[in-house]
Amino acid sequence: MTNFLKSTPARVVTVLLIAQAALLYSSIRPEAVPPGKPLADFPKQLGEWQSLREGVVEPEVMAVLQADDVLTRIYGNTATGQQADLYIAAFRSQRNGKAPHSPKNCLPGNGWMQVDSAEIRIDDGAGAIIPVNRYIIQHGDDRSLVLYWYQSRDRAVAGEFKAKFWVIADAIRYNRTDTALIRVIVPIPGKDVDTAQQTAIHFVQATFPTIRRFLPS
């Protein structure tokens, strides 16, 4: 019996039961939906990074995403010429089935193949550590490095299941389920993965304080 309780199926069942209890508990009272700044007002100048162009999310894609606010923008480093693709999908509430779509599922659907994956930790330079998922993806001869994480309140989380756990915890404690998916994509020049990773990390460090200000705390 003890071994069963420690097994993966038992843990999954436990998480599902907690989730059902949280949803039942939170459904009997109005959800606290915290305000957030419109992502359209996100600065176009972030230190050495300058906005180059806005991305476009097609209406049919937005209908699938069900995000409350979305930002997709290409930034360029004025000192080095390097580029970074920033994508933020903000969800004020995750009730009624709304939730971030993991890049693990979206990118392969667009023809990109995962080459390598890991989890790394980024020092934001102000004492906070940002755990992020790091992926190398390939489409034909093109390769890119992807960093992404979930931001809820003042908490950055890399893992999907851990992010869902904290949504449940916040629903019980604070009666709120807001979260955001932040994704950064940087092209890999040649086979120089290290340069691409340093570029992506530098961009995250330059962007993170502003992301914190625009998302509910």
Q: Residue 33: pLDDT band by 50, 70, 90 thresholds? A: confident
Q: Does any domain span residue 135?
A: yes
Domain count, the chain: 1
Q: Does any domain span residue 5?
A: no
Query: So what's the pLDDT on residue 61?
Result: 73
Q: Does any domain span residue 123?
A: yes
Q: Does any domain span residue 84?
A: yes
Least confident of 92-96, 140-144, 196-200, 205-209: 92-96
Q: Does any domain span residue 46?
A: yes
Indicate if the pLDDT at residue 59 is higher than 60: yes
Q: Does any domain span residue 149?
A: yes
Domain that holds residue 148: 31-214
Indicate if the pLDDT at residue 157 is higher than 70: yes
Q: Does any domain span residue 112?
A: yes
Indicate if the pLDDT at residue 40 is higher than 90: yes
Q: Does any domain span residue 108?
A: yes
Using a pLDDT cut of 70, give the percent of the chain over it.
83
Q: How far is CA 178 from the centre of its chain?
A: 12
